[in-house]
Structure 1
Amino acid sequence: MVLSLFPSPTKHLRPMHVETILHMKEGLGDTSYAQNSSLQRNSIETLKNIIINSALDVYISLSPEQFTFADLGCSSGPNTVTVAGEIIKKIGGICHKYSIPAPDFSVMLNDLPTNDFNTVFVNSPEFIQSLKDFAEIDEWGHPSVFVAGVPGSFYGRLFPRRSVHFVSSCSSLHWLSKVPPGLFDEIGRPINKGKMYISHTSPPEVAKAYYKQFQGDFSKFLKARSVEVVSGGRMVLAMLGRRTQDHSDPSTTLLWELLAQSFDLLVSHEIIEQEKLNSYNVPFYAPNIIEIEEEARKEGSFAIDYIDIFETKLNASGDARKDGKVLAMAIRAIQESMLSHHFGGDIIDALFNNYTELLIRSMEREEIRSVQIGVVLRKL
């Protein structure tokens, strides 16, 4: 795994190694990811039937004695084992219906090493207990469900060869392995000043750099999984994306633009320096369907059985103030680790106070939707 580095054009810039910095807000506090992951849960719910049916197809076609399921980018909180539990219950129900032994279930929960695995495994006994009615009971009175944490980047190998039957990854693959290196000129000056992602004001080189990084990362992801997933296995991937060819499509960039405006307010009040803001870029990319299909075709190990776009309305309740606060807290839980690393933790409260108000105003004016791409890949 190649660690990511920002180039260092100024003494103010701290290198950010994505693999050791990026993680959802840990713990169970008010600003934690565990308490602010309802948007991700809604995304999982949108694709739940596709995920469960794909896993069931694998089990029916292969009938393995041990069924290994990997959740890549599991994070922590209540969403972590939801999909795994639904899959186990569904397969257990089929086995019970036809009076055949249920397989051993191996649930592999993966995320970066900085993930809050402690919170994940505090809830593990409760999760296994809830499955007793659906899984085989061993001689000690326990269901044959085995849960393990697998720390590491999914842009590299994680599991033994041909050991995984089903892979699910929701709300993770839009995060890149590193900030694209092409965002600074030959002498280290930032070319995307005042913006942290692709904007309609960004020079063309910015979109090209982000797209090139996505191509390399997604290819690495597919290559690693091609070794690990058994023939006939499936992957269901869901990531933030865009409908159009335009990299600055507002459905993808609006939330980043509002965050940049929140930073501008801090600069205007001399809380942070403009130079510091100019040097900050996020390791994020929202692809479109064509870009995903092209990388899958080039890698060649998987056939695309299904791909489509889903939209989630972020003005969920119709109350702009309530919805703006929920969305701001969700984004804080996701990005606080990176922002604190680059700018320091002292600015976080002020930044997200600004961001909340900008989100509320935006939601009062218009409906905001999140665009997500879901794809089912079958190992050839």
Structure 2
Amino acid sequence: MEVLSVLHMNGGIEESSYANNSAIQRKAISKAEPIAEEAIHELFSSSNSYNNKFRESLGIADLGCSSGPNTLLMISKIIDIINGECRHLGLKSPELQIFLNDLPGNDFNTIFTSLPDYYQRVREKKGDDFGPYFIVGVPGSFYGRLFPSRSLHFVHSSYSLMWLSQVPPALDGKRGSALNKGNIYMAKTSPPVVLKAYLDQFQKDFFTFLSCRSEEMVAGGRMVLTFLGRKSSDPTSKECCFIWELLANALNDMVSQGLIEEEKVDSFNLPQYTPSPEEVKSLVVSEGSFLIHRLETYTVSWDPQDKLHHQSLAFNALKSGAKVAMYMRAVAESLLTSHFGGAIIDDLFQKYKDTVSEKLEREEPTFTNLVISLEKKADI
């Protein structure tokens, strides 16, 4: 699987688009906002950073920006925070160079067509004294260099770093079809070699990510990252694997009905890894370029809009199951279509909706999110 060319969230504004099915991701951005505000405040208050090095301009990057209403949500929050800091310190607003990054298959066109209206809203809200600021798209993998050396002052990424640069080589395609039979991700039935392959790939990718950002960020620059993770030391725990196990069940149901070949399922493995805080901390320490200011976890229900869930008399498992199936389709459809073809997608997600709804009737599964706030160390 060529992840660079295949992986992207569903574009456009259709029913199954990411734009219409990203409430979970919006919740993650909202949860990380106070940590981003703290990081930017420290950026401005540091005598060795803002006051001495970037009085005139700031470089800001959002890595894995996707498309839809969430794309400019965190950028808007960052602009608000910077504006507030400048007013508080009596400083002239710096020029902002804002980079929106995602893989080449991302729906950048929808982002670009939304920018004129976005600029107008910001001008009406902030006035002409704020800025200027410039927003550009940067297609490419963040597991490589994307920006000039020492050009970034603040980096943000949300719900992107759990995606790997590739399926672990030992599991990719027919070579790995016998190793993880019946599964599409790590699971209780996966042998140790599968778990090790996923961990090895994550360690390689995240180390590379940190090394690349180290080259691109100024000393004292800040980075806030949010991604799916786990609290447990067990990489096959339900908190990180259950959502994909149910999709595997739906695929295997289609195998039993003769709609998909068994080998097709056995040869499909997801390019994702949900790390523990300890795994993330260990890699940051070993790479050596960053200080950790915060490393936190929190959970959110699979249906973030159902605040009371089973305690509510209005809870509807079928309705919540349909939401979950739709946002998972918005995320995973490109990967599934590239491997299985598009003809099965509607039936697959109908089965998936039914399977998820049955689970939601009996329990309240959650995602574990990991947030880390980092500071680029001074160059030696």
TM-score, length-scaled by structure 1: 0.92
| Maintained 8 Å contact 2:177/2:266 | no
Q: Which of 255, 273, 285 lines up with 2:261 in the alignment? A: 273
For 1:191, the equivalent position in structure 2 comes to: 179
Q: Distance in 1 between matches of 2:45 and 2:176?
A: 55
Structure 1 pair 221–75 and aligned structure 2 pair: CA distance change class (3 A): same
1:58 maps to 43
Amino acid at match of 1:226: S
Q: In 1, distance between residues paired with 2:234 and 2:209?
A: 24
Residues 326, 303 of structure 1: CA spacing in aligned structure 2 closer, same or farther, 3 A cutoff? same
1:368 corresponds, among 338, 360, 365, to: 365
In structure 2, give the amino acid aligned to 1:289: P
The CA distance in 1 between the partners of 2:360 and 2:177, in whole Å, is 35
Instruction: Give the distance between the partners of 2:101 and 2:339, measured in 1 at CA.
Output: 26
Which residue matches 2:10?
A: 25
- The residue that corresponds to 2:277 in the other structure is 289
Q: Which of 20, 23, 32 in structure 2 is aligned with 1:47?
A: 32
Are the counterparts in 1 of residues 177 and 268 from structure 2 also a CA contact under 8 Å? no
Structure 1 partner of 2:221: 233
Which runs of 5 or more structure 1 residues have no equivalent in the other structure? 1-15
Against the structure 1 CA distance between its residues 185 and 208, is the aligned structure 2 distance closer, same or farther, given a 3 Å change threshold?
farther
Q: Does 1:78 align with 2:75?
A: no
What is the match of residue 312 of structure 2? none
Report the 3-state secondary structure (helix = DSSP H, G, I; strand = E; otherwise coil) of the residue aligned with 1:19.
helix
| Counterpart among 62, 80, 83 of residue 89 in structure 1 | 80
**321 and 284 in structure 1: CA distance in 2 versus 1, 3 angstrom threshold:** same
96-105 vs 303-312, greater mean Cα deviation: 96-105
Shift of 1:195: 0.3
CA distance in 2, matches of 1:93, 1:259: 45
Q: SS state of the match for residue 378, structure 1?
A: strand
Structure 1 position 99, deviation (Å): 3.6
Deviations 1:320-351 (A, max 9, x none): 22211111111100110010000000000000
Aligned residue runs from structure 1 range 302-321, under 5 A:
302-316=290-304, 317=306, 318=309, 319=315, 320-321=317-318
Q: Which amino acid aligns with 1:258?
A: L
CA contact (8 A) 2:229 2:368 kept: yes
Retained in 1: the 8 A contact 2:303–2:324?
no
Q: Which residue identity lines up with residue 363 of structure 2 in the other structure?
A: E
Distance in 2 (alpha carbons) for counterparts of 1:59 and 1:132: 23
Report the counterpart of residue 209 of structure 1 in structure 2.
Answer: 197
- CA distance, structure 1, for counterparts of residue 108 and residue 345 of structure 2: 24
* Aligned position for 2:332: 335
Instruction: Give the TM-score normalised by structure 2.
Output: 0.92
Where in structure 2 are the equivalents of 1:234-249 lying within 5 Å? 234-249=222-237
How far apart are the structure 2 equivalents of 1:294 and 1:271? 44
Matched to 2:184, the amino acid is M
| DSSP-derived class of the 1:131 partner | helix
Aligned to 1:4: none
Q: Is the 8 A contact 1:135 1:145 kept in 2?
A: no
Question: Which residue of 1 is the match for residue 106 of structure 2?
Answer: 115
Find the aligned partners of 2:264 and 2:88 in 1 and give their Cα distance.
61
Which letter maps to 2:350?
Answer: N
Separation in structure 2 between the aligned mates of residue 130 and residue 57 of structure 1, nearest angstrom: 28
How far residue 51 of structure 1 moved from its aligned partner, in angstroms, is: 1.4
Aligned to 1:378: 375
Q: Which amino acid aligns with 1:323?
A: S
Measure how far apart 1:358 and its partner are: 0.6
CA distance in 2 between counterparts of 1:180 and 1:92 reads: 43
State the one-letter code of the partner of 1:349.
Answer: D
Q: Hey, what's the Cα distance between the residues in 1 that align with 2:277 and 2:175? A: 35
Deviations 1:124-153 (A, max 9, x none): 122222222565737xxx951100000000
How far does residue 189 in structure 1 lie from its aligned partner after superposition?
Answer: 4.7
1:113-152, aligned counterparts within 5 Å? Answer: 113-132=104-123, 137=128, 143-152=131-140
In the other structure, the counterpart of 2:287 is 299
The gaps in structure 2 that reach 5 residues or longer are 310-314
How many angstroms does 1:55 deviate by?
2.1
In structure 2, the CA distance between the partners of 1:32 and 1:305, relative to structure 1 (3 Å rule), is: same
2:97 is equivalent to residue 106 of structure 1: yes
Secondary structure, in 3 states, of the residue corresponding to 2:235?
coil
Identity within the alignment, %: 44
Matched residues in 2 for 1:134 and 1:58: separation? 24
Indicate conservation of the 8 Å contact 1:101/1:136, yes or no: no
Q: Closer, same or farther in 2 for the Cα pair 1:277/1:96, shift >3 Å?
A: same
- Give, as a single letter, the amino acid of the residue that structure 2 aligns with 1:300: G
Shift of the alpha carbon at 1:97?
A: 4.1
AA at the equivalent of 2:359: S
2:172–2:269: 8 Å Cα contact kept in structure 1? no
- Number of matched pairs: 362
User: Does the aligned pair in 2 maintain the 1:315–1:367 contact within 8 Å?
Assistant: no
CA RMSD of the aligned region, Å?
1.7
